[in-house]
Each structure stands twice: as C-alpha cells, then as structure tokens.
C-alpha cells in the first residue's frame, strides 16, 4: 500500500500546477539546497578543530552540548517558518478500502524525509568522526550521543507538526509557546537560571551513560503517537464541513471612490482584508513590525550599517511584502470567474499596486517618530519608501504572476503556510538584497546622504517607468492566466 501511495504522490507532483513554475526558479531552489548542505558539511568537518582552538580548556563536545537547547529552539522556529505539514488529499481515500492508520503513517513517515531533517546529520556525523579520531571518548559513548542528537531532530520534526496543527486551529495556543521561550531567555539573561548549562549537563551525563539514549528515542515514539492521534481525529469526511456561522461588520469604504477607476477593486480588497483572518493578520503584522527599528536604532553597532537599509525597506514595506507576495492568490476562490468577465487585467493590477502604495505611505508616516534617533534615519526611511514604491511594488506584482496555489482566507496567517513554499521565501531575496547592495556600495564610496538620495532616485526612476513595467507585468499574467486558474482549483495546491 505504501508503494501505491508513493506512486500517487509522484503523479500528483507531476500533474500539479506548481510543476510549471519557471525552470530557473526550480534550479535556484535546488542549488540553494545543495549550497546549504555543502555549508553544513564544511561546518561539521571543521567544527571540532574550531572549538578546540577557541576553547582549549574544554572538550568540543561539551561546548556543543551546552548550546544544544539554543540550536533546538532555532531549528524549531525555522521549521515553524518554512517547513510545511505533510499534505495529502485524503478525501478520495476515505471512501476506499484503505485503513486510516496506513494513510496517517504514510504522512508522518513522509515528513521524516524532509530537507530540514538532513541538515543536522550533515553536521553531526563529521563532528562525531573527528571526536572519534581526536578525543578520548569511546565509540559507544559517541554512538549514544549521535542517537541523542538525531532523536532531537525527529522530536523537532514531530513537535513542529503538532504545534502547527494545534495552533492553526487556535492561534491563542501560540502565546504559551512564545511565553515559555521568553521566560527561559529572561532567566538566562538576568543570571537566575542558566538553561544552556542545565541542558548541557544533562547531555554530558547522557554522553557518559550511552544507554540513556533510549530516552529521546522513546520521546520520538511518544510524539509520533500523539501526532498520529491528532491527525487521525480529523480523518473524517464531515471534519471538512464548515458549520460555523460567518459574521462580519459591513463597511462600504465609500471614501475609496476618490481613487478613480481603481476604486471598485480597492473597495473589494479592503472588504477582503476587513472580513477575513489571514489578510487581516497581514495588517496586524505590518503594524507590529513598525517597532522593528527599536532593535537597531538604539544600538550604536548599527549606526552606519547596511542593516539600516534593511530595516527601512522592511518597515515601510512590510504590508507590501505580506500582502503582495500572494497576489492574485487572495482572489483564488473567484479568480476563474473574474477572468471570464470584461475586467481589464491592467486595471486589476493597478488597483493592487495602489493599495500597496497606500500601505507604504501609511507605514512611512507611522515610522516618522524614528527621527528621534537622528534625521539621517528619517531620510533613509523616506528613501526606502520611495524605492519600495518605484521598484519593489512592480517587482512583487511580477513575481505574483507565478502564483498558482490557493489560499483559505478564513485561516489566520500564524502557523498557516497554505500557498507558501520555500520558493515563496526565496523570491523575497531580490526585494531585500538589491536595495541593501545599492545603498551599502554608495555609502562606502561616498557617504550616508548620497547613498540615501541615490536609493530614492532609483525608486523615482522606477516610478517614472511605471507604465512600461505594468505592460510587462500584464503580459506575464496573461501568459500564466490558465495555469493560475488550474492551480487555484486544486484544493491542496
């Protein structure tokens, strides 16, 4: 049965609308994955010797044990942000003579072969080999330690699945998770309780008693059973029927009529944001990250750093990034119907751009209080806002032409990565990297003011070429129109 399920997965992949994405993007993703594995391998090979030289009075493996808890939290956060729950369109299987346990086991075992589960072993195995050659630890101790660490990888894998499934259903469950991490960090920071040393001492003890590796293995089995129970509890056809009554506060947004011919589309977008969880969460996230500058502007280390340009682009363009990268997937429920109407595609795109322009202006106004840290900060933020308007808005719209994954608007954005893949994260690289490179290079050659004015100048040039860009973007959307329609019809795309 597993062989049949694997075969169906391969057919689903080959027939999926996402297979038709640009070949260059697929090659880039694979190269990025190989680069990550190669980097981890080099780190694993050199880790023992780096730690031995930096901390000659302490065995490298003891030092690693001390910071395993930090690695675990970082890995869990990375998985939370980028690793999707293993999916399978189960409805057709529920009316077949296939045991639910078989399908759930297949899903969970599928998650074991995730890319994220290969990164840590690539570091750990060379590090263990170096310890075997250079240190006095026995092979049994090192084998037990390896089992401990690799078991923690699987713990993070299944814990991520459990957290995502639970928190998608109830966002409030995210609060104790973040609170626990905050408390542990606070206790460490104020020298009350050293979590790193506590966990390190436990792992050191387990290193010298290798039979204790059975404990993390049992933890993996326990989490597997819990995950299986949680997923199985929703393996019923009626679990997918919506019974909650929908209610919302109506608002006609009549003041939008001042925006001219794009006003009707903007009104629809604002109603979509107002009435649905996920786009509304994008607004809350943008407002929350308007305080992001407090982390950098209060630290003298970043007084003339490229991070200033990153913060400026990020704060003034947070809604643009959150909302724009999912255009036109926000309209996936009725996109096929909309494409049959006499609606000019360029007008549809201009309405999306106008909404993002408006958000950038609002976010720029909200962040003007950073002038308290110096008018140079205000000048850079204004320059970043102009760059976002002129370059990043059309760039994000162009990227959206390749979107073929539908979005459920009723789900919150937190822990919800429907319609999101690794590619969705990678495409943000040009949005952030290009302006940082431009500003950093000119700041190094000339000065802060010249770099900021040049960045704004690039944005002004981009805005002047808006008509030319929109013609290219319109052509891209028309080219991918039917692929997008096909993709939005796939419930689990």
Give the list of residues 6+ apart from residue 368 with CB closer than 8 angstroms, or none: 378, 381
Quote the pLDDT of residue 330: 81
Confidence class for position 242, pLDDT limits 50, 70, 90: very low
For the cut 60, the answer to whether the pLDDT of residue 13 exceeds it is no
Confidence class for position 214, pLDDT limits 50, 70, 90: very high
CA distance linking residue 185 with residue 179, whole number of Å: 10
For the cut 60, the answer to whether the pLDDT of residue 24 exceeds it is no
Quote the pLDDT of residue 482: 81
Residues 153 and 121: beta-carbon distance below 8 Å = yes
Q: Is 350 exposed, middle or buried (0-12, 13-18, 19+ CB in 10 A)?
A: buried
| Mean pLDDT along residues 240-247 | 44
> Both tokens of residue 46?
């050199």
| Out of 72-86, 139-153, 229-243, 335-349, least confident range | 229-243
Which residue, 388, 383, 28, 73, is CA-closest to 199? Answer: 73
For residue 406, tell me if it sits in a domain: yes
Quote the pLDDT of residue 32: 74
Quote the pLDDT of residue 243: 42
For the cut 50, the answer to whether the pLDDT of residue 161 exceeds it is yes
CA distance linking residue 297 with residue 314, whole number of Å: 14
Q: Is 270 exposed, middle or buried (0-12, 13-18, 19+ CB in 10 A)?
A: middle
Quote the pLDDT of residue 427: 66
For the cut 50, the answer to whether the pLDDT of residue 190 exceeds it is yes
Please state the domain count of the chain.
2
For residue 388, tell me if it sits in a domain: yes
Quote the pLDDT of residue 101: 79
Quote the pLDDT of residue 170: 57
| Mean pLDDT along residues 295-316 | 87
Shared domain check, 269 and 234: no
Per-residue pLDDT tens over the stretch 56-83: 888 999 999 988 988 988 888 778 766 7
For residue 248, tell me if it sits in a domain: no
Shared domain check, 278 and 220: no
For residue 390, tell me if it sits in a domain: yes
| Mean pLDDT along residues 318-326 | 86
For residue 245, tell me if it sits in a domain: no
Phi and psi angles of residue 334, each rounded to the nearest 5 degrees, phi first: -125, 15
- Give the count of alpha carbons within 13 A of 401, CB side only: 21
Shared domain check, 303 and 235: no
Residues 471 and 459: beta-carbon distance below 8 Å = no
| Mean pLDDT along residues 381-407 | 88
Range of the domain at 198: 2-239
Residues 89 and 96: beta-carbon distance below 8 Å = no
User: Of the residues 194, 214, 239, which one is the last residue of a structural domain?
Assistant: 239
| Out of 165-174, 392-401, 408-417, least confident range | 408-417
| Mean pLDDT along residues 272-292 | 81
Shared domain check, 275 and 233: no
For residue 244, tell me if it sits in a domain: no
Rg, Å, the chain Cα set: 25
User: Of the residues 239, 264, 280, which one is the last residue of a structural domain?
Assistant: 239
For every residue of 239-298, DSSP letters joined together read GGS--SPP-------GGGGGGGGGHHHHHHHHHHHHH-HHHHHHHHHHHHGGGTHHHHHT
Quote the pLDDT of residue 22: 45
| Mean pLDDT along residues 326-350 | 81
For residue 493, tell me if it sits in a domain: no
The H or E element spanning position 110 is helix 100-112
| Mean pLDDT along residues 23-49 | 79
For the cut 50, the answer to whether the pLDDT of residue 493 exceeds it is no
| Mean pLDDT along residues 170-175 | 62
Residue 336: DSSP 8-state: H
Shared domain check, 191 and 280: no
pTM value > 0.75: no
Residues 393 and 323: beta-carbon distance below 8 Å = no
Shared domain check, 271 and 234: no
Shared domain check, 355 and 310: yes
- Per-residue exposure over 105-129, b if at least 16 CB sit within 10 Å of its own CB, e if not: bbbbebbeebebbebbbbbbbbbbe
Better-scored residue on pLDDT, 383 or 483: 383
Average pLDDT over the chain, rounded to an integer: 81
For residue 249, tell me if it sits in a domain: no
Which residue, 476, 471, 466, is CA-closest to 399? Answer: 476
CA distance linking residue 422 with residue 292, whole number of Å: 24
Quote the pLDDT of residue 6: 65
> Both tokens of residue 35?
């680069």
Shared domain check, 423 and 321: yes
Quote the pLDDT of residue 1: 62
> Both tokens of residue 147?
């089992």
Share of the chain above pLDDT 70, in %: 79
Confidence class for position 241, pLDDT limits 50, 70, 90: very low
Shared domain check, 262 and 228: no
CA distance linking residue 356 with residue 13, whole number of Å: 33
Shared domain check, 229 and 286: no
Per-residue pLDDT tens over the stretch 449-462: 999 999 999 999 99
Shared domain check, 151 and 99: yes
Shared domain check, 126 and 61: yes
For the cut 60, the answer to whether the pLDDT of residue 337 exceeds it is yes
Share of the chain above pLDDT 90, in %: 32
Residue 123: DSSP 8-state: H
CA distance linking residue 385 with residue 459, whole number of Å: 8
User: Of the residues 239, 268, 284, which one is the last residue of a structural domain?
Assistant: 239
Torsion sign across C-alpha atoms 477, 480, 485, 487? negative
């Amino acid at each position: 049965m597993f062989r049949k399920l694997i075969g169906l997965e391969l057919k689903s992949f080959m027939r999926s609308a996402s297979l038709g994405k640009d070949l260059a993007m697929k090659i880039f993703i694979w190269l990025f994955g190989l680069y990550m594995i190669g980097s981890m391998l080099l780190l694993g090979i050199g880790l023992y010797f780096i730690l031995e030289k930096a901390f000659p009075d302490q065995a490298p493996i003891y030092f690693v044990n001390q910071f395993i808890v930090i690695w675990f939290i970082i890995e869990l956060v990375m998985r939370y942000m980028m690793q999707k729950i293993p999916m399978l369109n189960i409805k057709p299987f529920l009316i077949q003579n296939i045991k639910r346990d078989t399908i759930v086991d297949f899903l969970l075992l599928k998650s074991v072969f995730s890319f994220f589960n290969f990164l840590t072993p690539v570091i750990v195995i060379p590090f263990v080999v170096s310890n075997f050659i250079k240190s006095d630890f026995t092979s049994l101790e090192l084998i037990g330690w390896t089992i401990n660490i690799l078991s923690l990888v699987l713990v993070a894998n299944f814990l991520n699945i459990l957290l995502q499934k639970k928190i998608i259903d109830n966002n409030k469950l995210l609060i104790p998770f973040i609170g626990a991490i905050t408390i542990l960090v606070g206790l460490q920071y104020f020298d009350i309780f050293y979590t790193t040393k506590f966990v390190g001492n436990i792992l050191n003890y387990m290193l010298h008693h290798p039979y204790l590796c059975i404990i993390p293995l049992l933890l993996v089995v326990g989490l597997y059973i819990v995950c299986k129970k949680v997923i199985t509890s929703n393996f019923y056809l009626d679990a997918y029927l919506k019974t909650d009554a929908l209610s919302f506060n109506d608002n006609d947004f009549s003041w939008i009529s001042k925006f001219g011919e794009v006003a009707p589309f903007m009104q629809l977008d604002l109603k979509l944001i107002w009435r649905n969880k996920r786009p509304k969460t994008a607004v809350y996230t943008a407002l929350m990250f308007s305080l992001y500058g407090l982390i950098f502007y209060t630290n003298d280390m970043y007084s003339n750093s490229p991070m200033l340009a990153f913060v400026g682009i990020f704060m003034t363009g947070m809604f643009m990034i959150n909302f724009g990268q999912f255009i036109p997937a926000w309209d996936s429920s009725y996109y096929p119907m909309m494409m049959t109407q006499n609606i000019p595609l360029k007008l549809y795109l201009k309405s999306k751009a106008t909404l993002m322009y408006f958000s950038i202006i609002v976010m720029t106004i909200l962040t003007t209080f950073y002038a308290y840290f110096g008018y140079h900060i205000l000048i850079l933020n204004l320059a970043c806002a102009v760059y976002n308007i002129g370059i990043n808005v059309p760039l994000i719209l162009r990227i959206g032409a390749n979107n073929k994954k539908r979005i459920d608007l009723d789900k919150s954005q937190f822990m919800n990565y429907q319609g999101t893949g690794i590619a969705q994260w990678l495409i943000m690289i040009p949005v952030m990297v290009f302006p940082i490179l431009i500003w950093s290079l000119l700041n190094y050659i000339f000065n802060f003011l010249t770099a900021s004015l040049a960045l704004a100048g690039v944005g002004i040039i981009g805005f002047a070429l808006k008509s030319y860009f929109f013609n290219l973007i319109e052509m891209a959307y028309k080219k991918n129109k039917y692929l997008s329609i096909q993709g939005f019809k796939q419930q689990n795309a």
